[in-house]
Amino acid sequence: MFDQILVPLDRSLLAECVLPHAVALARSLNSQLRLLHVLSVPDQQNRLRAVDSLEWQLRRAEAESYLQGVCGRFKEAGVSCETQVNDGDAAEQIVDVARDSRIGLILIANHGQSGQSAWNVSSVVQKVIVRARTSLMIVRTVEPAQAEIPILRYQRVLVPLDGSARAECVLPLAAALARVPDTQVMLAHVVQRPPMPRRTPPSREDSELADRLVGRNFNEAGQYIEEVRSQLPSAAIETKLQIGDYVANSLHELVGQEHIDLVLLSAHGYSGQMNWPYGGLVANFIAYGSSPLLVFQDAPGEQDAATTRNDGRR
């Protein structure tokens, strides 16, 4: 599924929070890890200052030594990896390496060397999110990294489905994770109450019509989600059906109630809008989610074309 997983590291402890996740995914999916460190170029204010070639070579040697050390820790954990050091802008290099090497998944921490901030993702991660053409996993840096890579198993994985074929693109990945011992996958569907934007309160007839619509959708959704579950080759899969006014809000609450430690989402869902790299639900979870998030890119070619139309850079 993901032959190669790109793991950008900036030598900070926050960025190393991805290491246990890298081992867990590589083992589950039989993937090779590629560790990337980007040596930043001088900023705009210092571009007139000549670059000390000796200092630059020392920085490169330190970066290569660092990556080799991390790679050795991965190999001790039974995971294959390789290293790469590039020069330039961090976000641009991550995106370029992912594209040129046909990387299946980018695994990145939401904060790194710049430290924690009030924003849910750093500026570098935000740029990668917008420009990358591949699947992406964001790890929330809530716990400090450890000297040894701990064994991580996802115990509760949430897979929101909206009835569309695009949303179901994550199911092979969910099935692979469900085969890992002690991992439980939850297929969830939220039946949204129909909005009734109007100045006056809805009439009795309006409310009754909305209730009938919700009831019918609930029954249909129940049959749909059970049918999906029956097609997955694992007993470690359960279903959850809810009614809510807002889908994203209901799913965020579910993450907390069910102690979810990984959310799997397709980049696009029922609307099928390709004007943006991600649909509204994914954008919401990127901006406001608190758990690790893996976004499966369902249409990388179409996404790139859409991004090109919007910003005109390609």
Structure tokens at 31: 């993937």
Domain with CATH 3.40.50.620 in the chain: 4-45+53-139, 156-311
Residue-level pLDDT at 146:
60
Give the residues of the chain that fall short of pLDDT 50: 44-45, 302-314
**Cα–Cα distances in angstroms (integers) from residue 7 to residues 71, 81, 97, 108, 164, in the given order:** 11, 10, 11, 6, 30
* Cα(174)–Cα(239) distance, integer angstroms: 13
Residue-level pLDDT at 147:
58
CB-CB contact of 238 with 186 (8 Å): yes
**The CATH number, out of the four listed (1.10.10.10, 3.40.50.720, 3.40.50.300, 3.40.50.620), of the domain defined by the range 156-311:** 3.40.50.620
Q: Which residues pair with 156 in a beta bridge?
A: 184
How do residues 198-253 score in pLDDT, each as one tens digit?
A: 778 888 998 999 999 999 999 999 999 999 999 887 778 999 999 999 999 999 99
Fold of 4-45+53-139: Rossmann fold (3.40.50)
Residues 6+ apart with CB under 8 A from 114: 122, 123, 124
Residue-level pLDDT at 197:
75
Cα 272–chain centre separation: 19
Residue-level pLDDT at 199:
79
- Other CB atoms closer than 10 Å to residue 131's CB: what's the count? 20
* Cα(6)–Cα(19) distance, integer angstroms: 12
CB-CB contact of 28 with 176 (8 Å): yes
Radius of gyration of the chain, Cα coordinates, nearest whole angstrom: 22
Residue-level pLDDT at 235:
76
Q: In b/e form, how buried is each residue of 84-96, taking b as 16+ CB within 10 angstroms?
A: bbbeeebbebbbe
